[in-house]
Structure 1
Amino acid sequence: MSPRTTFGPSRAARPALLLAGTVAAALTLTACGGDSDLKSGGGTNFVTGKSGVATVPAADRKAAGTIAGKTLEGERLDVADLEGKVVVLNVWGSWCGPCRAEAPHFAKVSKELKAQGVEFVGLNVRDPNENQAVQFEESFGIDYPSLHDPAGKLLVNGFPKGTLNPQTIPTTIALDRRGRIAARSMAALGEDKLREMIAPLVEEKAAAKAAGQ
């Protein structure tokens, strides 16, 4: 099973919890089981495969809500402006061990897939000190933007009820080229599983382009 955390930050980082009342509702931080068989998501119409990645058929996908704000670099970013591209959203915190484990893979894959119309965006949570988050990105060579969301407001607004919403840290969610929530992993991802998660959406984009859509 890929590493993940269902725990909060270390004792040194606990002041972040005092500033993050909203994130408690957004992230229940429950453990996610590693089922070996396909499992239906009930009323949400998603299926979780052997890889632990839950996917939604194109006909059942719902649009993401508003995911916009200030990045760690102080720039304005609205994920809606990336419509037409496959968007990979990674929920992370600088205090999170599994986030550190997966960061090199995200840095590598984001660079290599950019030419295929794939954009990565981080959602940095429970990090009231932006400098720590910036240092995290610099140490792992991450050059894609991360929205600074210490209180988890974007997690509440961005993922409507009944969709594949974040429930652990780290969580990775992929949007299709129409801005709809298409896939989710609630575990740290290595390079191979990250590519496997993104590949079907890249293929959809290529197929639609060939069909003139």
Structure 2
Amino acid sequence: MSVSRTPLTVAVAAAATLLLSACTSGGTSGGGGDTNFVMGKDGISTVEKGKRTAAPDLSGKTIDGEQLDVAGYRGKVVVLNVWGSWCAPCRAEAPNFQKVYDDLKADGVQFVGINTRDTSSKNAVAFDKQYGITYPSLYDPTGKLMLRFEKGTLNPQAIPSTLVIDREGRIAARSLAALSEDKLRKMISPVLAEK
């Protein structure tokens, strides 16, 4: 009688997936060496203008089934928020994001969500409707877009994670926790002020 290892392998994989996809309030940067970013006391990491790395290709279908390429927003400051409808901190920060988006979109700030780990885009659409979210969100149920960020850069490592991408398409700031309206504005303001 042989014993199958398949159930154990599946259980280990499921546990790893849960660990990686759980809502968290922080994380640490992957990679080693000189990362060029500084973590502030407020939990927001920033990179000086001349030392930033380019954001990866972030394109695909939105939760509404439309095609979106974040590179199309070059020339604007992009606030990229990784979220899931199942994530309590994401629900807590959603009204803050919509309010700040409404206030700053006329100033050249574009918000884009990356919905991840939702098994159906219907859950994500319902979330947006419930919280009055009007900016687009890419649908990334398996986290493939998150894996496009280079290790050792300001990459998203938790859900929620928020990145600010400068007008040249480079990653300027990151938070690995849910953000209040005040912290979100504080994260965007220096990048928006750059000429």
Q: Is contact 1:28-1:167 (8 Å) kept?
A: no
Q: Distance in 1 between matches of 2:76 and 2:119?
A: 30
TM alignment of 1:17-32, pairs within 5 A? 24=20, 32=26
- State the 1:28 CA deviation: 8.8
Who is 1:8 aligned against? none
Q: Which amino acid aligns with 1:97?
A: A
- State the 1:77 CA deviation: 0.4
Q: Is contact 1:121-1:146 (8 Å) kept?
A: yes
Who is 1:180 aligned against? 170
Aligned equivalent of 1:202, options 182, 192, 195 = 192
- Structure 1, residues 148-195: CA drift from partner, whole Å, max 9, x if none? 0000001111x2222101111100001000000110000100100000
User: Are 1:52 and 2:46 counterparts?
Assistant: no
Q: Distance in 2 between matches of 1:54 and 1:28?
A: 21
Q: Is contact 1:171-1:185 (8 Å) kept?
A: yes
Q: Is contact 2:82-2:160 (8 Å) kept?
A: yes
- Structure 1, residues 58-81: CA drift from partner, whole Å, max 9, x if none? 111000111000001111000011
TM alignment of 1:48-127, pairs within 5 A? 48-127=39-118
Who is 2:9 aligned against? none
| Structure with max Cα Rg | 2
- State the 1:127 CA deviation: 0.4
Q: Distance in 1 between matches of 2:72 and 2:181?
A: 26
Q: Distance in 2 between matches of 1:163 and 1:122?
A: 19
- State the 1:104 CA deviation: 0.4
Q: Which amino acid aligns with 1:77?
A: L
Q: Is contact 1:123-1:146 (8 Å) kept?
A: yes
TM alignment of 1:142-153, pairs within 5 A? 142-153=133-144
Give aligned-pair identity as a percent: 60
Who is 2:34 aligned against? 43
Return 5+ residue gaps in structure 1 as ranges.
1-16, 34-40, 209-213
User: Are 1:192 and 2:182 counterparts?
Assistant: yes
- Structure 1, residues 6-32: CA drift from partner, whole Å, max 9, x if none? xxxxxxxxxxx97x96x94xx697763
Q: Distance in 1 between matches of 2:22 and 2:90?
A: 17
Return 5+ residue gaps in structure 2 as ranges.
1-12
The change in CA–CA distance for 1:67 and 1:97 in structure 2 (over 3 A counts) is same
Q: Is contact 1:30-1:167 (8 Å) kept?
A: no
Who is 1:129 aligned against? 120
Q: Normalised by the size of structure 2, how large is the TM-score?
A: 0.85
Q: Is contact 1:29-1:167 (8 Å) kept?
A: no
Q: Distance in 1 between matches of 2:93 and 2:71?
A: 25
